[in-house]
Amino acid sequence: MRLRLPFGRRKELPSHMWTQCPDCGEMLFNKQLARNMSVCPKCDHHFKIGARQRIELLADRGSFVEHDAELASADPLGFVDSKPYPERLEAARVKSGNKDAVLTGTARIGGIDVELAVMDFEFIGGSMGSVVGEKVTRAAERALGERRPLVVVSASGGARMQEGTLALMQMAKVVMALGRLADAGIPYVSVLTDPTTGGVLASYGSLGDLVLAEPKALIGFSGARVTDQTIGERLPAGFQRAEFVLEHGFIDQVVPRAQLKERIAFFIDTLRPRPGDVRWSL
Amino acid sequence: MFLKDPIATIRGGVGLGARHPADGDGRVPADGFVIVDTSTLPERVSPWEAVKLAREPHRPHALDVIERAFSPFQELHGDRSFRDDPAIVGGIGRLAGRPLVVVAQQKGASTEENIQRNFGMPHPEGYRKAIRLYRLAERFHLPLVTLIDTPGAYPGPEAEERGQAEAIARSIEVMTRLRTPIVAVVLGEGGSGGALALGVGDAVLALQNAIYSVISPEGCAAILWRSATEAERAAKALKLAGPDLLELGVVDGLIPEPPGGAHSDHDATAASIQSAVSAQLDRLDRLPLADLLAARYERFRRIGLVIEPSEATPPPKRSWIKRVLGR
């Protein structure tokens, strides 16, 4: 059932109860939106969701056990822009309720044990600094140690400027750990959500044995501002959307949010190492 | 809150610059050809000076260095899939008689040349050519030397269509597991992921006035200060100059430039690069392959700075901070 507003009163409604769909303009009752996995029931627009909500949608109820929850960013460069980096971090912690831009832990998806890492765009644009690099690397190393599939859900603007080249090097660090997983025949599923760009896409985001994406998610290498500044032109509309990236051959499937858990479960069940399978006992 | 552990202590401890040049843990030893300790630097130019020096149009670019230090050199073209990207050059060369594979980003010295080279900004097919040559090096047991000099990977629509991010990610991945020694040298500009795609090495060196950054100072200023004119401030904040990179552990050694900078004497610069890379390859050639790959993993594994409360989750048994310190 679609909820309509009384005529002419749209602007006066309490905003905490309603959200306007940015795609179709429909006013959506927040509770209804949450029941529908934060997907607009009218036009199928997938709203950005936080890491905790994502875990609730993907992990079997109560199965998520967080690891490295206390890992926090330092300020290696002493970075100050409009405010010092530690203040920016503190504000992001308060806003998102998390210590940094990724949550990692062990969970079950469709009854299968996995290592799960979920990024949170709310935390400084999901940017990857030392903490994100370290936590995702540890998740990959645990997946290797426990011989469990790794599932990483990305939502990120790229490397975190405030940590300079140390942030850039996290790309190599995570990819190093993924290489060991690949050698050991342990599946890694990369899920790209809106938006996944820059250094995260140019490292672990693109390297899944399977790469899945949510409908219409922004997926691309360079942000609009970088393109504009470097070559003085804007990317045409529709560029860098999940469907575009699928068409050009860089992801395996676009999967609606409602089917994502089931689909991941199917894939990891098919690909995961099985006890007694001689191929896996290297 | 949990930041009660003063960051200053952590920073003083880990230091990020608390390097032990000759401690035999896989780090680059002091060999007379590279600077491994910033306290031995005669002077440090300002970050903005470094940016200008790194971008100096007459600075020796990849082919200037290759024809002097890696001669005789035969260039190899094409990614076998789409086209030959002129922003990446690669081929087989010799370094003081030692055969090897060289892959480099190529800028131009003139506007005309720069247009042909796309200002040293590779397209995806450039990275795929690089990957093809990395594999060539591996197959024939030749060491790989990469020369980095790019403002960044090309950010245009064609590059997006052909999977710029995937090409860079794959290039990084192939380097992490390449079964042959790799020495990477930042010649001028190390522009973000586009540079890192050539930058995963067993030893990562930089010319003294080279820069290496997660984002261009102009890009950083445009985002954080909403004005590209604040680039000078951004350059300072980003800690992108050679000595900063050495202190952060992002590069293992700085190759000294002739007085006046690399652009003042191409021959001398190439000679310094030749000796420095030779010394690294001599060292790396002695390592068994398994040790080489393990050291490469550790080299990148330990980069970064995080605060971890002592009562953290049980694994890993040794805390991150302790592993960084090597204790």
* DSSP state letters, B22-66: TSSSSSPPP-SSSB--GGG-S----HHHHHHHHH-TTS--HHHHH
Indicate if A151 and A224 belong to the same structural domain.
Answer: yes
Q: Is pLDDT of B16 > 70?
A: no
Is the CB of residue A12 less than 8 Å away from at least one CB of chain B? no
Higher pLDDT pick, B186 / B25: B186
Between CA A216 and CA A42 the distance in angstroms is: 15
Which of B129, B104, B220, B159 lies closest to A201 in space, CA to CA? B159
* DSSP code for A11: G
**Three-state DSSP state, B20:** coil
What confidence tier does B222 reach under pLDDT thresholds 50, 70, 90?
confident
Is residue B264 predicted with pLDDT exceeding 90? yes
Question: Is A9 part of any domain?
Answer: no
B6 pLDDT above the threshold of 70 = no
Same-domain check for residues A30 and A128: no
Determine contact, residues B90/B103, Cβ cutoff 8 Å: yes
Q: B294-312 pLDDT, tens per residue? A: 999 999 999 999 998 875 4
What is the helix (H) or strand (E) element at residue B283, kind and residue range?
helix B266-285
What is the token pair recorded at A268? 């990891």
With 0-12 / 13-18 / 19 or more C-beta atoms within 10 angstroms meaning exposed / middle / buried, residue A170 is buried
* One domain for residues A156 and A62: yes
Shared domain check, A117 and A255: yes
Q: Give φ, ψ of B255 to 5 degrees.
A: -90, 120
pLDDT of residue B284 exceeding 80: yes
Same-domain check for residues A27 and A153? no
Q: Is residue A67 part of a domain?
A: yes
**Percentage with pLDDT > 90 across chain B:** 78
**Alpha-carbon dihedral B93, B99, B101, B104, rounded to 10 degrees:** -40
Max mean pLDDT range (A188-192, B1-5, B23-27):
A188-192
pLDDT of residue B325: 67
For range B81-94, the mean pLDDT: 98
Q: Enumerate long-range contacts of B6-9, CB under 8 Å, 24 or more apart.
A: B7/A74, B7/A75, B7/A86, B7/B307
Q: Which of B163, B185, B188, B170 is nearest to B261 (CA)?
A: B188
Q: What is the mean pLDDT of chain B?
A: 88
Residue type, B110: S
Average pLDDT for residues A63-73, to the nearest whole number?
Answer: 96
Q: Alpha carbon of A137 to those of A178, A215, B304: distances in Å?
A: 8, 27, 12
pLDDT tens-digit readout, B32-54: 899 998 888 878 899 999 999 99
Whether the predicted interface score ipTM is above 0.85: yes
Helix spans in chain A (H)? 30-35, 51-58, 85-96, 130-146, 164-183, 198-201, 224-231, 242-247, 257-271
Residue B12: predicted pLDDT: 29
Q: Which of A5-9, A26-30, A134-138, A181-185 has the lowest mean pLDDT?
A: A5-9
Partner-chain contact B304 A225, CB within 8 Å? no
Task: Give the total residue count for chain B.
Answer: 327
If phi > 0 it is left, if psi is from -120 to 50 it is alpha, else beta; for residue B316 that is beta
Q: Does A198 touch chain B (CB under 8 A)?
A: yes
CA distance B178 to chain A (A): 11
B1 pLDDT above the threshold of 60? no
Question: Is the residue at A222 inside a domain?
Answer: yes
Cα of B96 to nearest chain A Cα, Å? 30
Q: Which CATH number fits the domain that encloses residue A68? A: 3.90.226.10
Q: Mark whether A166 and A125 lie in a shared domain.
A: yes
Based on the fold, state whether residues A35 and A115 are members of the same structural domain: no
CA pair distance B108, B106, nearest whole angstrom: 7
| A187-191, B18-22, B93-97: the lowest-pLDDT one | B18-22
Per-residue pLDDT for A228 more than 60? yes
Looking at the structure, tell me whether residues A89 and A228 fall in a common domain.
yes
Nearest chain B residue to A72, by CA: B307
Q: Which domains, from first to last, does chain B contain?
A: 1-16+312-327 (no CATH), 27-303 (3.90.226.10)
Pairwise CB contact (< 8 Å): A240 & B160:
yes
CA–CA dist B266, A258 (Å, integer): 61
**Ordered DSSP codes for A129-143:** -HHHHHHHHHHHHHH
Section A16-26 average pLDDT: 89
What is the reported pLDDT for A11? Answer: 52
- B147, B95 contact by CB (below 8 A): no
Q: What is the predicted pLDDT for the residue at B245?
A: 96
User: Token pair for residue A209?
Assistant: 């044995």
Q: Is the Cβ pair A207, B212 closer than 8 Å?
A: no
- B186: helix, strand or coil: strand
> Is A4 inside a domain boundary?
no
What is chain A's mean pLDDT, rounded?
A: 91
How many beta-carbon pairs below 8 A join chains A and B? 220
Task: Give residue B3's pLDDT.
Answer: 36
Cα separation, A264 vs A189, whole angstroms: 8
Q: A38 and A132, same structural domain? A: no
Residue A279: pLDDT over 70: no
Q: DSSP letter at A35?
A: H
Q: Is the pLDDT of residue B200 over 80?
A: yes
Task: Determine, for residues B240 and A82 on separate chains, whether the beta-carbon distance falls below 8 Å.
Answer: no
Partner-chain residue, chosen from A75, A79, A172, that has the shortest CB–CB distance to B7: A75
Same domain, A266 and A210: yes
C-alpha gyration radius of chain A: 19
Per the structure, the complete domain to which residue A81 belongs is given by 49-271
Q: What is the CA radius of gyration of chain B?
A: 19
**CB-CB under 8 Å, A203 with B193:** yes
Confidence band of A82 (pLDDT split at 50, 70, 90) = confident
Residue A277 falls inside a structural domain = no
A145: in domain: yes
Residue A278 domain-assigned? Answer: no
Tell me, yes or no, whether A26 and A137 share the same domain.
Answer: no
Reply yes or no on whether the pLDDT at B131 is more than 50.
yes
Distance CA B188, CA B18 (A): 25
Interval B137-156 mean pLDDT: 97
pTM of this prediction? 0.90
Say whether both A31 and A119 belong to one domain.
Answer: no
| Domain count along chain A | 2
- Closest by Cα among B147, B192, B149 to B55: B149
- What pLDDT, on the 0 to 100 scale, is given for residue B322? 65
Band of pLDDT at residue A278, cut at 50, 70 and 90: low
- Least confident stretch, A58-72, A129-143, A199-213, B313-327: B313-327
pLDDT at residue B11 tops 50 = no
215-244 of A, contacting B, C-beta below 8 A: 220-222, 225-227, 229-231, 233, 235-236, 239-240
Least confident of A5-19, A54-68, A230-244, B77-91: A5-19
Q: What angle do CA B301, A127, A255 make, to 5 degrees?
A: 100
Q: Give the number of other Cβ atoms within 10 Å of residue B68's Cβ.
A: 18
